[in-house]
Structure 1
Amino acid sequence: VCRGLIKNGERQDEESVGGRRRTEALRHLCKMNPSQALRVRGMVVEECHLPGLGVALTLDHTKNEASDDGVSDLVCFVSGLLLGTNAKVRTWFGTFIRNGQQRKRDNISSVLWQMRRQLLLELMGILPTVRSTHIVEEADVDMEPNVSVYSGLKEEHVVKASALLRLYCALMGIAGLKPTDEEAEQLLQLMTSRPPATPAGVRFVSLSFCMLLAFSTLVSTPEQEQLMVMWLSWMIKEEAYFESISGVSASFGEMLLLVAMYFHSNQLSAIIDLVCSTLGMKIVIKPSSLSRMKTIFTQEIFTEQVVTAHAVRVPVTGNLSANITGFLPIHCIYQLLKSRSFTKHKVSIKDWIYRQLCETTTPLHPQLLPLIDVYINSILTPASKSNPEATNQPVTEQEILNVFQGLSGGENTRLAQRYSITTQLLVLYYVLSYEEALLANTKILGMCE
């Protein structure tokens, strides 16, 4: 009976009286035999008919299941529809969301309204409600006293919080959901909460940060902007601690630096690609929507001096080769070396470059030789005539010798040789290029002295 009703049902059940009656009948049948409810829901998705019924059955099931700290069935079901591989299902459910919003918003009887209410209640259920006084102290003196500031997110809620953030991203970015003021406010409070230093906490912070970039309209008032700036400042401050405690090397610090570099060089499309890959979904983000974030980043949070100081703390890429594509820390360092930021702000970059040269393999990454060339130039050529001391430190003689240890022959050669042939060739290239540049610059250096 249920299969027949679904197979002959409407693609969008909330659009007509008949569709709503059909959904109501099936909902009552499932209440009579709850064990079949999830099977009926499976038929709904299989046929791409009656999306309201699928959500209604999930809501009924959510009410019956014991409340725990895990990800709810509603979040899993809707996320599966929007983030699954089936494009037909995604379009069908996206249409249900879009059509539902066009009708009167206050229609409490609509399934879409009930779904949104339930998701909001779940979100508010995991929000930390303790006001954190030390956060308020960190803010500007003129900050409004009534700004609601949430503090630590409980460890048992972090995975659920990440699942909710991804679901709201999918609802807004894929299904076109326009959040109400209440939804936007509560989402922002969750995104700017502070999780514990665990791998899941690192993931949550990365998702929150990308969501702020993707949906900048969630920040609409000066108070909300202040909350976001404080949270971003906290991210910068806590990045090293999170990395050491959680044991995750690719932490959000690297992402912050990449985004800051992209903003400084105006590569907005690269930021959009980074956001989509981190969220794990392809959503449309207009470059113009990033303009306010760009101003905040480049002028308030990540000035060139902060970027430079932060860059040397970003881990080098392990086993760097041409097989590793995309924007890497080496690109950041190259740009900063080229613009003489390290010498300008008196930040030593020598150790980072040496560590990266030691972490290389074949095939050679195309950015390595330009990096060495621009580094040598920054060692020998002062940043300006007025400041002849403004140069980078060269790699020490001992560091160069260390790379070639074990090449003198003998039975222990294989044991002693720690560095790859790629590293040794790069260091040899550095030594030869350095000597060549030194000879070419002798005249200029003499004039400077």
Structure 2
Amino acid sequence: MNRQKIGVASSDSILIQSLQNGSALEFERSDSTRRLRLVLSEILAITSQVREQQKSSVKSSELFDNSVYIEEICDVLCIALAELPAVLNVLDIVETLLYVKHGPEIICWVIANTPDCFREVCINLIANGERQEDDNVGGKTRMQAISMLCQMNPSQALPIRAKCVEMCRMPALAITLSLEHATRTLGGDTEGDMVAFISGLLLGNDQQVRNWFAMFVRNSQKASKIDNIFVWLSVFPFIQICMLAKLSERKWESHTSLQLCRDELLRRLQTIILFSMDSQLPESCVVEASALLRLYCALRGIAGIK
């Protein structure tokens, strides 16, 4: 595997002094104790950069930027957290790791070795997230890290989603976790609770939650152009209800949580239509179809989806 060009460290650290070579090469040649010092030195340096610059961007690190060292770095971090609990706080370490190149992967590795702090770490990541996601690198990395943690521990995905709602933070993550849950249950007796979940956000009694999610939908739409192509779908002629699903196919928004949510709802609606023969809806689909109609009306009327 090719490695980045090794340079000479520009300054000394409190933990490591007089580096003859760059931190990556020094890490490769050092014993376990010195490796621990090198990793902690890099962590402290990155933490200092984050506090000084206050920007959500990936910090350059000769050691952490090399994927070849990830496994060994993770081992060192896990040992350090286990042996120095009074000095190192796992929550602070995880926050710092968000700013390194392979941060989410390293975070998952660390939490896999300290599973008892899984929930605490996820809640802290959510608490430090934004009320409404923006497009900066830090926000995307934070969401990626939590999503990967929940993929590693699927049973905690829905409780973590509930925390997003409780704190009114990271709505895109809540949608992403719902979609991943639907994917895991696809083909089973149920297909997740996407429809019920979003309906609860928009039609529930909590005004703060309703405003929070409606603002997310509006902001997500403002971030992209408005397409002129709409899909008009009508069903239920037997009860004289015309269901209008105004869904826009936006290629430039195809990877956002909102568009993925649109795609999932459209897929469910198309599935219902396939079961409708001669404009007659089977009894087995009535409840699901009614729930979809209710959700589309809420998205249109409350969240202003287009």
More contact order relative to length (CA 8 Å, sep ≥ 6): 2
Larger radius of gyration: 1
TM-score, normalised relative to structure 1:
0.36
TM-score, normalised relative to structure 2:
0.49
